[in-house]
Amino acid sequence: MPEKMPNGLPVDPDWWRGAIIYEIYPRSYQDTTGDGTGDLQGITQRLAYIASLGVDAVWIAPFFTSPMRDFGYDVTNYKDVDPVFGTIDDFKTLVSRAHELGLRVMIDQVLSHSSSDHEWFCESRSSRDNAKADWYVWADAKPDGTPPNNWLSIFGGSSWHWDTSRRQYYLHNFLATQPDLNLHNGDVQDAVLDAVRFWLELGVDGFRLDTVNFYFHDRQLRSNPPLDVQSRNASIAPDVNPYNYQDHQFDKNQPENLAFLQRFRQLLDQYPGSASVGEVGDAQRGMEIVAQYTAGIDKLHMCYSFDLLSATPPSANYLRQVVTGFETGVSDGWACWAFSNHDVERHASRWSKTFGGSDQHLKVQVGLLLSLRGSVCLYQGEELGLPEAEIQFEDLQDPYGIEFWPTFKGRDGCRTPMVWDNNALNAGFSAVKPWLPVPQVHCGQAVNILAANPESVLNHYRRFIAFRKRHQPLIKGSIELDGQDEHLFCFRRSHGNETIYCAFNLSAKTRNLAVPDEGVQTLNGSGFKGELRDGMITIPPMDAYFGLLG
């Protein structure tokens, strides 16, 4: 028997390298209390289903005490569970059951900002000389009463909000009710790290760090320069948002963050097997930041940027650009790739104009995602092939969508409830009206329907994840790109003395390619139909081939 950690799982400090992490948006996973909102008991109830996918870990979006103005990303108590989701005991039960099933548990940590209802902020705003006066980012107005600089909020308008108590502005990169913590203050760092330790003591295996490059601001509060039109990128904010008009040199991405991330890593290293993945929100220098934050072994374990979460479809040429950029720029770092999450339009819809939305398109996309060098985040419902939901304005909950409606409809379309059983009320999510409607179009892709179909997207996910687990090069191996064909994306994954040749046909026609000089033996069990035929590798439209070289 291998040595066990306190959580009962085998000791493997490297488990995260090549792991598949399944993201759960708790409000929308399973309601067990009859209030229309998902909860921790609901997640526990569905853990066996998640384990059946073959994934290694779950990442649970925030469930901490919150007024829910941004649905948990505005925290009022970093060390407690909001009653809408349950209790601390419910969380302990969830962790215990996950570990029994061999699943590690990662949770969100929102360390860049808190809720304006947090007791820290209530004290901070009460005067300019209280004990927490410097725990948030405060600044005097300009002589004409306007904000101290031109920084903009991702959620629209200035990122400065006037406070009548202190007669100063405070910084908020998101909602005005999400004031930014001042991590230049060592006491603030101690406080948020104490919250991290609290959850480590409860047995969590790691953290997803929300907006990790937003932790620090420029002390001099210098204004951001404009961004040239050609460089504007809507992958971080919708193109209707003037946030894209600035080069964000001073409101985020500050060098002081590296020292704080080292403190964070030192804490995690006290709990063997703990891991971290950071969300890097930057359209211009995302890979550069990922490289900085994951270099060596003293900062984050891995990061993800928005390169594959953007509107740009993953063509062979674009994939070569992204992978080459990472491999040359990040060197010893480790990526965490994703096509969908709770903040972006589901990829089944996002790329449908280019690739279509058929099951075969979705199958080849996940095969591609799970074959890249790096770890992977899958978002609940993508294993069912769910498209983006169409939400009417009167049903909107997301303040982001309400602000920029109708050109940008917000994030509610990817946050609708999970569909479990097409025969049950609300597809088995809740016995009452859910917090967001269950789209009728999703019901035909409920778990009970797809599980019974061997050729469904769901069973393809299961099949390919099992195939991946049988071949270590696909999990921890190096990557070497092969060829420049605009329709074929080919590469080699090597680990030990085993090398797997991976070839993806991203076109609507059957494609042939030459067998590599070393020779190749077809690997079965991937669920794809590429084959050796007449001395060539032949791959049907939107399909793939996997072979053992040598």
Give the pLDDT confidence of 463-510 residue by residue, as tens digits: 999 999 999 999 999 999 999 999 999 999 999 999 999 999 999 999
Confidence at residue 331, expressed as pLDDT on a 0 to 100 scale: 77
Q: For 240-292, how does the pLDDT look when each residue is reduced to its tens digit (9 = 90+)?
A: 899 999 999 999 999 999 999 999 999 999 999 999 999 999 988 888 899 89
Residue 329: which pLDDT band, with cuts at 50, 70 and 90?
confident
Q: What backbone torsions phi and psi does residue 539 show, to the nearest 5 degrees?
A: -125, 125
Name the phi and psi angles at 59, rounded to 5: -115, 120
Q: Is the pLDDT of residue 2 over 60?
A: no
> Is the separation of the CB atoms in 300 and 265 below 8 Å?
yes
Range list of H helices, 472-542: 473-476
Count how many residues are written for the chain: 550
138-139 β-sheet, strand order: 138-139, 168-171, 160-163
| Short-list 334, 273, 293, 358, CA closest to 478 | 334
Instruction: Name the residue ranges covered by the structural domains of the chain.
Output: 20-112+185-413+455-468, 478-549
pLDDT-derived band at 234 (thresholds 50, 70, 90) equals low
Q: Which CATH superfamily is domain 478-549 in?
A: Golgi alpha-mannosidase II (2.60.40.1180)
Give the dihedral sign, CA 12/469/328/520. Answer: positive
CA 142, 146, 147, 151 torsion: positive or negative? negative
What does the pLDDT read at residue 453? 98
Portion of the chain with pLDDT greater than 90, in percent: 90
Q: Distance (Å, rounded) from C-alpha 254 to C-alpha 179?
A: 18
Q: Is the pLDDT of residue 330 over 60?
A: yes
Q: Which residues contact 246 (CB under 8 A, 6 or more apart)?
A: 150, 151, 152, 224, 225, 226, 227
Do the beta carbons of residue 531 and residue 538 sit within 8 Å? yes
Q: What beta strand segments (E) does 75-205 contain?
A: 77-81, 104-109, 138-139, 160-163, 168-171
pLDDT for 67: 98
Alpha carbons 154 and 380: distance in angstroms, whole number: 25
Q: How confident is the model at residue 353 (pLDDT cuts 50, 70, 90)?
A: confident
Q: Is 201 exposed, middle or buried, given 0-12, 13-18 or 19+ CB atoms closer than 10 A?
A: exposed
The strand pairing partners of 58, in sequence order, are 22, 105
pLDDT tens digits, one per residue of 393-425 = 999 999 999 999 999 999 999 999 999 999 999
Look up residue 64 and give its two tokens: 């901490």
At 378, list the tokens: 């899958």
At 229 the pLDDT is 86
User: From CA 370, how far away is CA 358, in angstroms rounded?
Assistant: 19
Mean pLDDT of 304-330: 92
Instruction: Give, in degrees to the nearest 5, the angle at Cα 162 between 156 and 166.
Output: 150
- Per-residue confidence (pLDDT) for residue 170, from 0 to 100: 99
Per-residue confidence (pLDDT) for residue 519, from 0 to 100: 95
Q: How far apart are CA 310 and CA 20, in angstroms?
A: 20
**Cβ pair 196, 123 in contact under 8 A:** no
Cis peptide preceding 10, ω within 30 of 0: no
**What number is the average pLDDT over the span 518-535?**
96
3-state secondary structure of 41: helix
- Mean pLDDT across the chain: 95
- Please check the confidence at residue 200 and state whether its pLDDT lies above 50: yes
Q: What is residue 287's predicted lDDT score, i.e. its pLDDT? A: 86
Mean pLDDT of 526-540: 97
Whether 453 and 463 have beta carbons less than 8 Å apart is answered as no
Residue 449: phi and psi, rounded to 5, are -75, -50
Measured between alpha carbons, how far is 449 from 532 in angstroms, rounded to an integer?
34
* CA distance linking residue 2 with residue 85, whole number of Å: 35
Q: What is the pLDDT of residue 230?
A: 80
Provide the pLDDT for residue 1: 32
20-112+185-413+455-468 and 478-549 have identical folds: no
For residue 502, the cross-strand partners are 491, 546
pLDDT at 513: 96
Which helix H or strand E contains 343, and what residues bound it? none
CA distance 249 to 155: 18
Chain-centre distance of CA 175, in angstroms? 20
Q: What SS3 string covers 206-268?
A: EEEECCHHHCCCCCCCCCCCECCHHHCCCCCCCCCCHHHHECCCCCCCCCCHHHHHHHHHHHH
Averaged pLDDT for residues 298-319: 94
Nearest alpha-carbon partner for 146 in 174, 179, 169:
169
Mean pLDDT of 139-151: 98
Domain 20-112+185-413+455-468 -> CATH class: alpha beta
| CB-based burial label for 437 (10 Å; 0-12, 13-18, 19+) | middle
Average pLDDT of 537-543?
A: 98
- What pLDDT sits at residue 285? 87
- Residue found by looking up tokens 């930041």 in the block: 289
Q: What is the DSSP letter of 427?
A: G
Q: Is residue 299 over pLDDT 60?
A: yes
